[in-house]
Amino acid sequence: MKPLVLICSRNPDLFLLFSHILVAEGFRARLVDESSLIESVKGPSVLCILLDTENNASEALHLCGLVKENRASAHVPLVALTPAGDQDGYLDLLKAGVDECLVRPISPARILGYLKALVAERRHGGGLDIERKENFQVWDLDVEAAKRLIRYRGQEMQLGPIEFKLLCRLLDAPGRVFSRAELIEAGWPPNYYVQPRTVDVHMGRLRRLLEQMTGRSIIRTIRSTGYAVEFS
């Protein structure tokens, strides 16, 4: 089945434009609103949610919360389409749980490149070396790459794509400090501009999720250097 992209927008012209581009490249597109979003996201073919934030910033933040706080939808990549120059809004969206922000106007090549990278990650277990890391254990954490699942003493949690890749990079070498540049290389597509502050927001979210699950703060911040995972 073709990957389905849910587009949450009040702008019918934007939906028509994006759906035309997506369908031409082998995707399906569906227009959703707040009332239908969570129900629509339950299907296995849903690739991601495109959230139009123009002229409705507060509603966009509310929808982020609905998606990320619902177990059925929390793992689905959430991509915000943001107006240029709104740095505060950009950071607010990341803190609310958005996986990626794409600044409008967006070229078709940019959005298609991002979506095709998501398709490749889904096929190859989140971009990891499947033969080596389809399932692995570090400390008391069991990791299932194909589903982006983390298990800890009977609990399980499904991470978003960026947080999952960042965690796997840290778990490659517990105790080693990874720079932000190394984490950007692990978590985002090649030649993709990512601000250091964006890394910090995603790492902060990952730290909170792991602390909720394990009751411990296992991600350490090394000032001006980067991050490490420690279990001692």
The structural domains of the chain, ordered by start, are 4-123 (3.40.50.2300), 130-229 (1.10.10.10)
Q: What is the mean pLDDT of the chain?
A: 86
- For 84-98, the pLDDT digits (tens) are 877 778 888 888 888
- For 138-155, the pLDDT digits (tens) are 889 999 987 888 999 999
| pTM exceeds 0.85, yes or no | no
Tokens 């070396």 correspond to what residue?
129
CB burial of 65-82 (b: ≥16 within 10 Å; e: otherwise) equals: eebbeeeebbbbbbbbbb
Q: Check whether the bond before 105 is cis (ω within 30° of 0).
A: yes
Phi and psi at 14, nearest 5°, equal: -65, -45
